[in-house]
Amino acid sequence: MASQRTRQSFKNGSGFFYGYFVVGASLMMMSTIWAVYYAFGVFFKPVLNEFGWTRAVTSGAYSLASIISGLLTIAMGGLTDRFGPRVVMTFCGLLLGFGFILMSQITAVVHLYLFYGIFVGAGMSGSFIPLLSTVARWFLKRRGMMTGIVAAGTGMGALIGPPVASRLIPIYGWRLSYAILGSIVLSVVVLFAQFIKRDPTQIGQVPYGEKQIEQEQLPLRDDGLSLNEAVRTPQFWMFSGTGFCYGFCLFTIMVHMVPHAIEVGLSAIRAADLLAIIGGLSILGKVVLGRASDIFKSRLTLVLGFILMSVALIWLVPAKTAWMLFSIAGIFGFAYGGCAVSHSPLVAELFGLRSHGLMFGVFNVSVGSGSAIGLLLTGYLFDATNSYQMAFLLCAMISVTGIILTAFLKMRKS
């Protein structure tokens, strides 16, 4: 009876809509997770200095985490459909928290790859798709806006995490700093996961906007291609190629930007602030270019994102001064935000909604693959040349390839 009253009160426009709490809790979890994940670049030099490993070897742990995360993303999406986000996010929060905490105890390369590559990598598989998939179930109207708000958590993480880590390390050392940040991730994610509901029916509500859609007699049926049908089209492989280019460039910069800035003379704290600039401008990019995608379509937004990213990466090759690096970080952050907010709508525009979640998960495998290869190759090129110039030039070429692939995408006819 109470459930019926709750449902009726929401349909009449009264009562608190729990979906807004789902959005807030998802944003909190995503911001916390990505804050510590993006701080890897800040820990990079202290770990190198203590153990004397090569950059390729140290980057390899992040590459392994990207591969594990990308592969398990599909499984986590399916488990969210079956068991709900509370179970999935609790499990991922435990993996992430203990993975970061155990990083404080590493003494050998095998520990780095086990605790970061496997534990953190597996935990990161729940950092994006399960939360966005849950938000999509709560909102029919305002779905794009709410998805953008939650997705902005990655930018907020980059804005907060690296500067915090750069200030903790001089005081407590990198080991205790990892333990502190890991404890925060464990507490926040596990706590907020307990309040996430899979869909409105669990508490007797209906998705936001359902009544209006029923009144307007708009179609609710999902249509489009199945995954098996999509993989037979050239559009699928070109779109996956854009994901590879995006992952290659983004995570190479997020890991190696700080070490590069320190190499050219910036302090560790100022170098970490570059990642904060990238994160802050990525939020603006998600909002501005996300709105632009509603008007001009997501394909053009993705093209613009890759163009700006290419400009930033080409400029990064000769950049040596602080003002150049901070300007590049701002352009790159805005570009990365525009690219990130284009992906989910493009899946719908290219292939429809029939298998949207599954295809979005598969697309993220290409992003993870690009990340893994980019990080390893960048570390290897630095070890071989003692410079990041060749690696950043390669990133610029990969970004230009993303422009070309996106330009050839053709939208699905209704």
Residue with tokens 């990308």: 70
pLDDT at 217: 46
> What's the confidence (pLDDT) of residue 358?
74
Both 186 and 229 in one domain: the answer is no
Nearest Cα residue to 306 out of 241, 382, 235: 241
pLDDT at residue 357 in the model? 66
Judge if 81 and 228 occupy the same domain: no
Residues 196 and 227 in one domain: no
Ramachandran region, residue 267 (left: φ > 0; alpha: ψ -120 to 50; beta: rest): beta
Domain identity same for 24 and 97: yes
Residues 24, 139, single domain; the answer is yes
Quick one: 154 and 236 in the same domain? no
- The domain boundary, picked from 202, 234, 254, lies at 202
Is residue 207 assigned to a domain?
A: no
321-373: per-residue pLDDT in tens?
A: 999 999 999 999 999 988 887 887 787 778 876 676 677 778 888 998 898 89
8-state DSSP, 12:
T
For residue 209, tell me if it sits in a domain.
Answer: no
Q: Single out the residue in 202, 230, 246 at which a domain terminates.
A: 202
Instruction: Please give the pLDDT value at position 212.
Output: 58
In a domain, 7, yes or no: no
Better-scored residue on pLDDT, 81 or 116: 116
Which of 269, 244, 272 shows the shortest CA–CA distance to 339? 244
Q: Count Cβ neighbours within 10 Å for each residue of 114-137 and write b for 16 or more, e otherwise.
A: bbbbbbbbbbbbbbbbbbbbbbbb
- d(CA 232, CA 249) in angstroms, rounded, equals 27
386: left (phi over 0), alpha (psi -120 to 50) or beta: left
Helix ranges (H only) for 194-297 are 210-216, 227-230, 234-263, 268-296
Residue 313 included in any domain = yes
Helix count and strand count (H, E) for the chain? 17, 0
Query: Quick one: 179 and 293 in the same domain?
Result: no
Q: Strand, helix or coil at 411?
A: coil
pLDDT at 66 over 50: yes
Backbone φ/ψ region at 413: left (φ over 0), alpha (ψ -120 to 50), beta: beta
Give percent above pLDDT 90 in the chain: 47
90 & 168 share domain? yes
Contact 239, 344 (CB under 8 A): no
Same domain, 259 and 180: no
pLDDT tens-digit series, residues 201-253? 878 777 777 665 555 444 444 567 777 888 888 999 999 999 999 999 998 99
φ/ψ of residue 413, rounded to 5: -75, 140
Residues 262 and 232 in one domain: yes
Q: Under DSSP, is residue 218 helix (H, G, I), strand (E, B) or coil?
A: coil
Q: What is the pTM of this model?
A: 0.77
Q: Which of 172, 202, 232 is the last residue of a domain?
A: 202
Domain count, the chain: 2
Residues 307 and 339 in one domain: yes
Q: Is 196 helix (H, G, I), strand (E, B) or coil?
A: coil
Does the pLDDT at position 89 exceed 60?
yes
Please give the residue that has the higher pLDDT: either 58 or 412. 58
For residue 74, the model assigns a pLDDT of 81
Query: Is residue 103 included in any domain, yes or no?
Result: yes
Provide the pLDDT for residue 143: 67
Which pLDDT band holds residue 15 (cuts at 50, 70, 90)? Answer: low
Confidence of residue 36 (pLDDT cuts 50, 70, 90): very high
Q: Does residue 2 lie within any of the structural domains?
A: no
Say how far apart CA 78 and CA 357 lie, in whole Å. 9
CATH number assigned to the domain comprising residue 89 = 1.20.1250.20
Range of the domain at 117: 16-202
**Residue 210: inside a domain, yes or no?**
no
pLDDT at 10 over 60: no
Contact between residue 143 and residue 353 where contact means Cβ atoms under 8 Å apart? no
Q: Give the contacts of 19 (CB within 8 A, at least 6 positions apart).
A: 135, 138, 139, 146, 200, 205, 207, 208
Q: Mean pLDDT over residues 190-195, rounded? A: 95
State how far the Cα of 205 lies from the Cα of 6, in Å rounded to an integer: 6
Residue 330 and residue 414 in one domain = yes
More confident residue, 107 or 299: 107
Residue 414 DSSP code = -
Q: Which helix (H) or strand (E) holds 176?
A: helix 143-193
Other CB atoms within a 10 A radius of the CB of residue 82 amount to 10
* Amino acid identity at 79: L
Please check whether residue 257 lies inside any domain of the structure: yes
pLDDT exceeds cutoff 70 at 144: no
